[in-house]
Amino acid sequence: MMDQIAEQISLIGQRIPKPDGAAKVLGRTQYINDMVLHRMLIGKILRTDRVHARILRLDISKAAALPGVHAVITGDDTPMIGIGVNKDNPPLKSGTVRCIRDEIAAVAAETEAIADQALALIEVEYEDLPAVFDPAEALEDSAPQLHEDKPGNVGLSYNISYGDIAAGEAESDVVLDETYDLHYVTHCCMGPGCVLAEFDAMGKLTIYSQTQYPYNFKMDLAPTLGIHPGDIRVIQPPVGGAFGSKLDVYPFEPICAFLAQKTRRPVKLVFSREEEFIASPTRQPVRAHIRAGAKKDGTLTFRDVNCLLNNGGYTSWGATVPYVMMRTFSGHFRVPNVEFKSTAVYTNNPFAGSFRGYGNVQATYVTATLMDKMAEAVGMNPIAFRLKNAQEPGEVTPQGSLLKDCALADCITIAAEKTDFLKIYAANAKVETGRYRRGIGIATSLHNAGGAKIHKSDGCGTILTMDDYARVTLITGASEIGQGIDAVITQIVAEELGVPMASITIVNDDSAIGPWDVGVHASRTTFIAGNGARRAAIKAKAQILAAASKEANVPAEEMELRGGHVVQSDNGVSIIRLDRLLRAMHFAGEDAELVMVTDYYEPPSEPEGDNHYGDMSAAYAHAAYVAEVEVDTMTGHVRVEKMTVVQDVGRVVNGLGIEGQIEGGIAMSIGYGLTEDLRIEKGIVKNPSFRDYKVATAPEMPEIAYHFIENDTPEGPFGAKGIAELPAIVPAPAIANAVYNAIGVRFDNPPITPEKVARALHGGQDGGDQ
């Protein structure tokens, strides 16, 4: 008797809990911070207390003699081979220190207390050197030079030019000239930086790492250790947050490996929270000078942008954020003439890395507030002005991004309608009295949503196997860093193979098993790894249906997989149970086969050339967020009451996951706009604690209203686009625009703290730009 298998409700768009949720709520999840290996030692790093100095004497003898200490290493024992984007940062510094986080020695000891005691016994004498902290000052001829091979302190420069700025300016009726100072913020991952390293008897390194790019991590780590990348195995236990902070090799990782190599024992190194604030990368601070013009009818004429980036003492990804900034300045709204120049300048500050949103947080703060200023200058409302300059589907930006399904105008129109924007905006602007004033503001942006081909490949490998019980193991190169890719991949594979989600195991925590992936960044993982998983599942399905066709003598195209069975497509009648078929395939004598497929998905995008031109993503997405705020004009406190999210997501895959990403992004962006400020004064981090560095807490979260635009982007998995950075990018400038609507003051120097607001309203220094 044959069962009829009911048609399954599609999993795509459902609200699917994360498969790692149970272990996490039960407290069973073991992070590296929780791990203990046999004979494991504890590593600790001694950092300098100077911002720029020559090391005259570094005496480790007392520390090395302390019982329980197994190794003390310095830059004299370890290779001076730099890590980071410019390879300018040797893990342990020898000779000169250039910023307050500089690592000068490290110990491995039997306990944390002994390690701390050993650090205190290390004697250092310095000769202080002249220091420089401001990037403009660091460019002056008389400035101290930080790196011998970087004359003039210039780290990295990016320049693009399209059209004719002078011609654009000549036809402008309005020209604005604005300077923005975009500040230091930091990731504040709840799990502090941590690594555990161990060498095996053959001299191969196993590193338990929080990295979010395990495969290129090997390539970047190997040279400084003097070993072959192939001799590094990266294991990725669950990680307590990443947000871009783990996209590079940082000194503590090779230092831990050096300690493990020297002691021939496993060594674990965990940051304190203070160390996390001081010695993990920040978001890139940017001083942006922009001149921009428009005609009376609202047509944008030109943008001329000059950015100075404080590079700090060394170079990680922070200095490369212009890659993304320039795409926004040139490509967000139709701008016929664009020049963008940026210079990252070495100073004696700590340095920046990559951070969710990359340079687009900075570029969008500028462009989205400048669009409002420009609208006012030409006498248009913020909605009409934006719609006037919004691109149509199919337009190509000056840098070659093909906006094939551009939803910018839709985003703006829907955001305005859903919030009754124009009416509220006009009403708020009229109110000039009263302690509490309300404001509404809109901001939009554009971000890559189908990967970002910044390396030679933007691909992801996938291996799918099925066992004799129809259980699926899906091995993907893409990492789970808490964001929920395991849930998305489980849904996609279950959808294609018609098996329960509980029958799928995702494996993505071991570089010795997983196939290559470029890393979790650039809002790419659902798109790229999702496509890879789907393609692998489709290949597996084809193999299964071919075997079923042979077994049951029914053409493959007349069958499908449903509810753990192979069924007839037309009536859903089961032809054979899937596990039985798999066993039949497996034990078929000479024709035996396993379902065991591989896929390497390379998105159809092109790398940027040296001229920064190229269609670098397989999809782009826009978003328009509307913030509604209340400003207390007495205290200067800004409260975000509501955030309306209108975002082109292509297609929602996991309702819970997408909202979770957006809500987390909004919290982060509220922090960027209102409260978070890593204060670095003369190279010293002044507020390295959660007491003095304020991230958003539960009472500060606004009501959030969603409107997703779902147009099924052609290349996306089930039409989905990448979504997770725009929520961290767009809210802050929407809030800034809302604050202006409330009190008529612009703040081009976030965060918009109560102090700044109160000073702007009641006098005093450091207010906004009235």
Partner 1 sequence: MSSELEISFILNGQARSLIVAPSAVALSVLRDDFDLTAAKKACGEGECGACTIIVDGASVCSCILYAADLDGRNVQTVEGLDAGDTLDPVQAAFIETGAVQCGYCTPGMVMQIKHLLAENPDPDEAAIRRGLEGNICRCTGYSKIIDAVKSAAITMRAG
The residues that touch partner 1, with contacts defined as CB under 8 A, are 15, 17-18, 20-31, 33-34, 187-192, 238-243, 272-273, 481-484, 656-657, 659-660, 662-668, 689-691, 695-699, 701, 704
Q: What angle do CA 203, 209, 213 make, to 5 degrees?
A: 105
* Spatial separation of the C-alpha atoms in residues 285 and 271, rounded to whole Å: 23
CB of 355 to partner 1, least distance (A): 12
Smaller CB distance to partner 1: residue 178 or 659? Answer: 659
CA distance 300 to 293: 6
Q: Name which of 197 and 662 has its Cβ closer to partner 1.
A: 662
CB of 667 to partner 1, least distance (A): 4
Helices (H), 321-450: 322-331, 360-378, 382-389, 408-419, 421-430
CB of 277 to partner 1, least distance (A): 10
Q: How far is the CB of 29 from partner 1 (least distance, A)?
A: 6
Q: Which is nearer to partner 1, 189 or 292 (CB)?
A: 189
Sign, CA torsion 602/606/609/612: negative
CB 665, min distance to partner 1, A: 7
CA 157, CA 142: separation in Å to the nearest integer? 21
Q: Identify residue 613 by its one-letter amino acid code.
A: Y
- Residue 520 CB, nearest approach to partner 1 (Å): 12
Closer by beta carbon to partner 1, 483 or else 749: 483
Instruction: CB nearer to partner 1: give 569 or 697.
Output: 697
CB closer to partner 1, 609 vs 699: 699
* 467-506 residues labelled b (16+ CB within 10 A) or e (exposed): beebbbebbbbbbbbbbbbbbbbbbbbbbbbbbebebbeb
Judged by beta carbon, residue 238 or residue 719, the one nearer partner 1 is 238
Q: Shortest gap between Cβ of 675 and partner 1 (angstroms)? A: 12
- Other CB atoms within a 10 A radius of the CB of residue 140 amount to 11
> Can you tell me the distance from the alpha carbon of 573 to that of 389, in angstroms, rounded to the nearest whole number?
55
CB of 237 to partner 1, least distance (A): 12
Nearer to partner 1, 459 or 671 (CB): 671
In the bound state with partner 1, the residue whose beta carbon lies nearer, of 17 and 764, is 17
Which alpha helices (DSSP H) does 390-431 contain, by range? 408-419, 421-430
Of the pair 34, 200, the CB lying nearest partner 1 is at 34
Q: Do residues 376 and 429 touch, judged by C-beta distance below 8 A? A: no
Both tokens of residue 212?
């979010």
CA-CA distances (angstroms) from residue 515 to 230, 420, 474, 520?
13, 49, 11, 14
Terminal-to-terminal C-alpha distance of the chain:
80
The token pair at 406 is 């551009």
Judged by DSSP in three states, 635 sits in coil
Hey, CA dihedral for 129, 133, 136, 139, is it positive or negative?
positive
Strands of 96-97's sheet in order across: 96-97, 53-59, 123-128
Q: In the bound complex, what is the minimum distance in angstroms from residue 384's beta carbon to partner 1?
A: 32
Give the shortest CB-483-to-partner 1 separation in angstroms. 7
3-state secondary structure of 322: helix
**Quick one: 38 or 430, whose CB is closer to partner 1?**
38
Q: Which of residues 35 and 387 has its CB atom nearest to partner 1 in the complex?
A: 35
Shortest spacing between CB 581 and partner 1, in angstroms: 33
Angle between helix axes 408-419 and 382-389 (nearest 10 degrees) is: 160
- Return d(Cα 340, Cα 337) in angstroms, integer: 10
* CB of 11 vs partner 1, minimal distance in Å: 15
